Amino acid sequence: MSHSLPTPHDLRIEKRDLKFGREMPPPRWWHGGDPGRTAFFNALSSTFPVGEKFFMTAVRHYRDGAPQPLRSQIDDFLYQESMHTREHVVFNRQAEDAGFDIAPLEERARRTIAWAKRRSPIQQLAATCALEHFTATLAHDLLADPRQLENATEETARLWQWHAIEEIEHKAVAYDTYLHATRDMLPLRRWLKRSTVMFVTSIRFHYVLFRGIADLLRQDGRNDLATWRGLIAYLYGRSGLMRPLFREMFAYMRPGFHPWDADDRPLLAKALAAFDVAAPRSQAA
């Protein structure tokens, strides 16, 4: 099972220490006054601090035995994920300040991660690969279609754009670590493991996310058909943010898959230019 397009040799995973929303926290319905869209992003954010710590632990487990440049990419991955954790902790506290009870969502995410931690290190890494593929897919669509964050408050939109940029930059680090960690495994077994873990992870990801959305909508008194109809259209309509996840879940299961089969570098450069952060430099430069 050959891998058609490895991580580009000239890709730079930048270390950025950026802070968002400290001076003017977002209002309760920060996504254009829409409770459904706000609930989606708030529920997603509620999973990030505990989830990204899990990712860091899973990848760090294999760092010392990794060759260069993968070892350096792991270090950059760990830095970026630590920054994401910090900023989403702040974002989640701001959601609480706006009146939401985020604790039940965070507890549900913790229980899911606790379940995952009872698996072997390689299974934890495989789960990380699956979830990193989901976040990279969402990141691509968030950056490719400005309508996804249309009418969101400016600083909150910047938070999600920054997070999306870095998810694309490091989208193959966990996967390349998995390839290295399973280098002596029979190709069929390696493929079956990552495919099975992707299937299970997909189910748990959607369960945790949509339970969280429902929790927040109930708090708003908007857990009704009209709100869900609008949210489902936003997520799964023709240009829906979540719609590509189904396609990408099966793409991930293809023998020979690699995250950089989808070359996001032009989108990444465009997003970085619009974000007013220097584009990644070539390592060969």
Domains of the chain: 35-255 (1.20.1260)
DSSP 97-159: HTT---HHHHHHHHHHHHHHHTS-HHHHHHHHHHHHHHHHHHHHHHHH-GGGGTTB-HHHHHH
Task: Give this prediction's pTM.
Answer: 0.93
Could you report the per-residue pLDDT of 186-220, keeping only the tens digit for each? 999 999 999 999 999 999 999 999 999 999 999 99
pLDDT of residue 64: 95
DSSP 195-233: HHHHHHHHHHHHHHHHHHHHHHHHHHT--SHHHHHHHHH
3-state secondary structure of 245: helix
**Whether residue 26 has pLDDT greater than 70:** yes
Could you report the per-residue pLDDT of 48-87, keeping only the tens digit for each? 999 999 999 999 999 999 999 999 999 999 999 999 999 9
